[in-house]
């Protein structure tokens, strides 16, 4: 089968978003599902279960950003139980685990420390302590810890510098998370509110509208929090907050529970109850090719009735993995005589890039039979070509406007108001936080309004194209 030799693209557009990639975690020997995910500064990932007993042992596996295993640890608790509580990376890239053991009616807290090469170390924090949760290291190498309703600042060896109980002498709110900002301020998540305090523990302000069970620090001063409606219908969700604590966006996970979150600058990974890792990265380019025309010629001796068309685009660098984007489309009901050429149409093709793809874009295409087997002549199985992606220019279509209000919106319907030149052919598209099409409207020239039905909470992108060219794009927040 001769390789494809002609391809033309009729329409494309691109936009930026928080793009999502999904990786199903391989079996690393866990008898139960992993429940803790941690990202180190050197791009290593730690995946762990939580509890262990006689039948299920405490273990964690370390793998690099290609998925190769770097280190493996397993604890035999004997006749008791052991629980991993939290993990923290120190400025020297060493890692400290907080672990609680229970045996013969006695509960003990201890800490395991490993250097950057995963050699167990007894320096620094060690011995039995009375706290379990880490809140992050400050610039002077001290670090924060919390337990119940208590917050403490400690030296590198674990000695208390100061300790504060939320709620005074009464039982305060339960602390669910704590992060240290780049300026050494503290953000404390409780089951009552979100608290902003200085490094000495003095409360600056509180935000009762955010009741989060987990809080993380993103790049550029952004904050990421998890909300779980344990007794209600709302799915687990991720909140993105500005440094001012106003809401940037919200991402829901319908049908799956959020187990843990790992952060790498402005990118983050979410581990769910289905053992899926969802990877979110800032500002990827997603290109939508429509009505891609493909010419296929039959070089065989019999009538060609069906064929697969395969496309491979360049590597995309994500938070965890590197990989090529491969697509395959099966065409049936053909009747291509020997020596004849037929034009096939690929209606829609979405490709993700981590850099602006404007210019010459190299990709590979080949044909195969529907069973994925190629012909005996391997020399014609693969054909690489260049596709010229032309920039949209600085002056798209004139005399237009598109507005959406309210924005942000919590209404059952939001209003899109447009104004176009007479006779213009346009389209309005709404993309969800992971780049999938959520709504599409064909718009004629003139002015008018459209009603956008309420979407799942999150950050959306509204795109206006006129005569097939991108004219306007803006962000929309659905509360």
The residue length of the chain stands at 479
Cis peptide bond prior to 75, omega within 30° of 0: no
pLDDT recorded at residue 29: 46
User: What whole-number distance in Å separates Cα of residue 361 and Cα of residue 315?
Assistant: 12
Position 204 pLDDT exceeds 70: yes
User: What whole-number distance in Å separates Cα of residue 97 and Cα of residue 427?
Assistant: 53
Name the band, by pLDDT with cuts 50, 70 and 90, for residue 354.
Answer: low
Position 131 pLDDT exceeds 70: no
Which residues have CB under 8 Å from 367's CB, separation 6+? 1, 2, 3, 4, 296, 307, 308, 309, 310
Q: The domain 401-478 is classified under which CATH number: 2.60.40.2550, 3.40.50.300, 3.40.605.10, 2.60.40.60?
A: 2.60.40.2550
Task: Convert the pLDDT of each residue in 267-323 to its tens digit.
Answer: 788 888 877 777 776 455 667 777 778 888 777 777 888 888 877 776 555 443 344
pLDDT recorded at residue 381: 44
Name the band, by pLDDT with cuts 50, 70 and 90, for residue 238.
Answer: confident
Euclidean distance between the first and final Cα of the chain, in Å? 52
* Cβ–Cβ < 8 Å for 22, 63: no
CA distances from 309 to 2, 251, 363, 366 (A): 11, 35, 13, 6
Token pair 């065989």 is found at 300
CATH 2.60.40.2550 in the chain, residue ranges: 401-478
DSSP single-letter state for residue 135: E
Task: Convert the pLDDT of each residue in 392-421 to its tens digit.
Answer: 334 444 578 888 888 888 888 888 988 888
User: What whole-number distance in Å separates Cα of residue 344 and Cα of residue 292?
Assistant: 8
User: What whole-number distance in Å separates Cα of residue 193 and Cα of residue 209?
Assistant: 7
CATH 2.60.40.10 in the chain, residue ranges: 6-16+284-389
Look at 32-36, 195-199, 266-270, 401-405 and tell me which has the smallest mean pLDDT.
Answer: 32-36
Count other C-beta atoms under 10 Å from residue 419's C-beta: 13
User: What whole-number distance in Å separates Cα of residue 228 and Cα of residue 215?
Assistant: 12
pLDDT recorded at residue 378: 44
Task: Give the mean pLDDT of the chain.
Answer: 72
Position 455 pLDDT exceeds 80: yes
User: What whole-number distance in Å separates Cα of residue 179 and Cα of residue 199?
Assistant: 11
pLDDT recorded at residue 319: 42
Q: 6-16+284-389 falls under which CATH superfamily?
A: Immunoglobulins (2.60.40.10)
Position 386 pLDDT exceeds 50: no
- Spatial CA neighbour of 15 closest among 479, 473, 476: 473
Share above pLDDT 70 across residues of the chain, in percent, rounded to a whole number? 67
CA distances from 341 to 7, 222, 294, 333, 337 (A): 13, 55, 10, 15, 8
pLDDT recorded at residue 400: 83
Position 4 pLDDT exceeds 50: no
DSSP single-letter state for residue 445: S
Name the band, by pLDDT with cuts 50, 70 and 90, for residue 379.
Answer: very low
Which residues have CB under 8 Å from 147's CB, separation 6+? 130, 131, 132, 133, 175
pLDDT recorded at residue 221: 77
pLDDT recorded at residue 14: 27
Position 434 pLDDT exceeds 80: no
Phi-psi map region of 399: left, alpha, beta (phi>0 left; psi -120 to 50 alpha): left
Tokens at residue 71, please?
């280190």
* Cβ–Cβ < 8 Å for 166, 120: no
The whole model's pTM is what?
A: 0.47
User: What whole-number distance in Å separates Cα of residue 45 and Cα of residue 469?
Assistant: 42
Between residues 285 and 55, the one the model is more confident about: 285
DSSP single-letter state for residue 232: S
Alpha-carbon Rg for the chain in angstroms: 27
Print burial letters for 362-399: b (CB count within 10 Å at least 16), e (below 16): ebbbbbbeeeeebeeeeeeeeeeeebebeeeeeeebee
* Cβ–Cβ < 8 Å for 261, 279: no
User: What whole-number distance in Å separates Cα of residue 479 and Cα of residue 460?
Assistant: 11
The class (CATH top level) of 19-219+258-281 is mainly beta
């Amino acid at each position: 089968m001769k390789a494809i030799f002609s391809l033309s693209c009729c329409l494309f557009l691109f936009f930026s978003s928080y793009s999502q990639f999904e990786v199903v975690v391989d079996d690393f020997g866990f008898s139960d599902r992993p429940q803790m995910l941690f990202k180190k500064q050197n791009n290593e990932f730690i995946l762990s279960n939580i509890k262990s007993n006689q039948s299920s042992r405490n273990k964690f596996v370390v793998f690099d950003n290609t998925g190769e295993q770097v280190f493996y640890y397993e604890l035999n608790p004997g006749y008791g139980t052991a629980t991993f509580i939290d993990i923290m990376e120190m400025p020297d890239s060493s890692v400290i685990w907080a672990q609680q053991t229970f045996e013969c009616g006695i509960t003990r807290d201890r800490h395991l420390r490993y250097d950057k090469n995963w050699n167990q170390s007894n320096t620094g924090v060690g011995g039995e302590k009375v706290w379990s949760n880490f809140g992050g290291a400050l610039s002077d190498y001290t670090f924060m810890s919390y337990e119940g309703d208590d917050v403490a600042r400690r030296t590198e060896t674990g000695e208390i510098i100061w300790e504060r109980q939320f709620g005074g002498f009464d039982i305060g709110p339960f602390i669910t998370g704590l992060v240290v900002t780049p300026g050494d301020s503290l953000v404390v998540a409780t089951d009552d509110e979100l608290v902003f305090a200085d490094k000495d523990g003095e409360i600056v302000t509180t935000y009762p509208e955010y009741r989060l069970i987990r809080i993380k620090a993103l790049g550029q001063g952004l904050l990421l929090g998890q909300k779980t409606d344990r007794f209600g219908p709302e799915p687990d969700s991720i909140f993105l907050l500005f440094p001012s604590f106003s809401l940037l966006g919200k991402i829901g996970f319908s049908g799956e529970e959020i187990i843990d979150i790992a952060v790498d600058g402005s990118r983050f990974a979410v581990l769910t109850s289905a053992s899926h890792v969802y990877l979110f990265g800032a500002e990827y380019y997603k290109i939508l090719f429509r009505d891609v025309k493909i010419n296929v010629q039959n070089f065989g001796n019999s009538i060609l009735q069906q064929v697969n068309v395969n496309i491979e685009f360049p590597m995309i660098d994500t938070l965890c993995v590197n990989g090529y984007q491969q697509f395959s489309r099966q065409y049936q009901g053909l009747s291509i005589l020997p020596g004849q050429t037929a034009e096939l149409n690929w209606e829609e093709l979405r490709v993700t890039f981590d850099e602006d793809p404007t210019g010459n874009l190299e990709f590979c295409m080949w044909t195969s039979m529907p069973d994925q087997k190629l012909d005996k002549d391997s020399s014609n199985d693969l054909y690489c070509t260049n596709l010229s992606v032309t920039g949209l220019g600085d002056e798209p279509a004139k005399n237009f406007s598109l507005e959406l209000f309210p924005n942000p919106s919590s209404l059952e319907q939001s209003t899109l108001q447009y104004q176009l030149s007479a006779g213009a052919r346009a389209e309005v598209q709404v993309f969800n936080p992971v780049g999938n099409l959520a709504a599409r409207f064909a718009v004629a020239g003139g002015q008018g309004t459209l009603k956008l039905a309420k979407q799942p909470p999150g950050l959306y992108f509204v795109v206006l194209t006129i005569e097939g060219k991108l004219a306007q794009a803006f962000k929309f927040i659905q509360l």
